A and B are shown apart, each in its own frame.
Chain A
Amino acid sequence: GNSVTQMEGPVTLSEEAFLTINCTYTATGYPSLFWYVQYPGEGLQLLLKATKADDKGSNKGFEATYRKETTSFHLEKGSVQVSDSAVYFCALTENSGGSNYKLTFGKGTLLTVNP
């Protein structure tokens, strides 16, 4: 079955530091890959996505590139802010056809950015 493995954290950084959160996946077909963000006490919001190999998803200064050869989708940001403090989830869904697409999530990585 499908699975997502991401670094568990917690990750603590100072403001303006560089961020990398690693994510690797296992899938039988051709998945689409996502990063979701959960701010304290809230639901999940889609941060970025990539639907095929070599695609780069980007949003709010965050980037992730779909690497099929390494089955990875690492999240990066060049300069984090205090407001980026949240839990980040890597996820995938497969291009398996039909009418249902189930997201498989990693366990989440808690990021804390200190001023």
Chain B
Amino acid sequence: SQTIHQWPATLVQPVGSPLSLECTVEGTSNPNLYWYRQAAGRGLQLLFYSVGIGQISSEVPQNLSASRPQDRQFILSSKKLLLSDSGFYLCAWMKRDSWGYTFGSGTRLTVV
């Protein structure tokens, strides 16, 4: 069966520090991968998506970046965090030509 792992579950980082959140998928190949952010009172915002290794599309300009070094690995990064980067970050995967998104359990990031 397919599973998605996302870590860490919670993270408190100072302003200006770097960030690396990792997401891996097991039990499938060539998935579409997505990073969403859920800010308080603002719903879910798509940040990045990837349809293949090394292929990253950005939805919202910001100081975050994403990479996909392996087929089932998706990384969200920042060189210098801002207070506004605080939120709940969700990774998701989708099997090609299907309608089912599966979400990870999320990372709650607090920038202080």
Q: In the complex the two chains form, is B32's CB within 8 Å of A100's CB?
A: yes
Interface size class of A (residues with CB under 8 A): 20 to 34
Residues of the A chain whose Cβ atoms lie less than 8 Å from the Cβ of B94: 101
Residues of the A chain whose Cβ atoms lie less than 8 Å from the Cβ of B43: 89, 105-108
CA distance A32 to B97 in the complex (A): 13
Question: Of residues B100, B103, B104, which shows the largest number of chain A Cβ atoms within 10 Å of its Cβ?
Answer: B103
Residues of the A chain whose Cβ atoms lie less than 8 Å from the Cβ of B46: 102-104
Q: Smallest CB-CB separation from A107: which chain B residue?
A: B43
Q: In the complex the two chains form, is B99's CB within 8 Å of A43's CB?
A: no
Contact with A along B66-105 (1 / 0, CB 8 A): 0000000000000000000000001010101101111111
Q: In the complex the two chains form, is A100's CB within 8 Å of B44's CB?
A: no
Q: In the complex the two chains form, is A45's CB within 8 Å of B99's CB?
A: no
Give B24-66 interface residues, CB cut-off 8 Å to A.
32, 34, 41-44, 46, 49, 51, 57, 59
Q: In the complex the two chains form, is B96's CB within 8 Å of A43's CB?
A: no
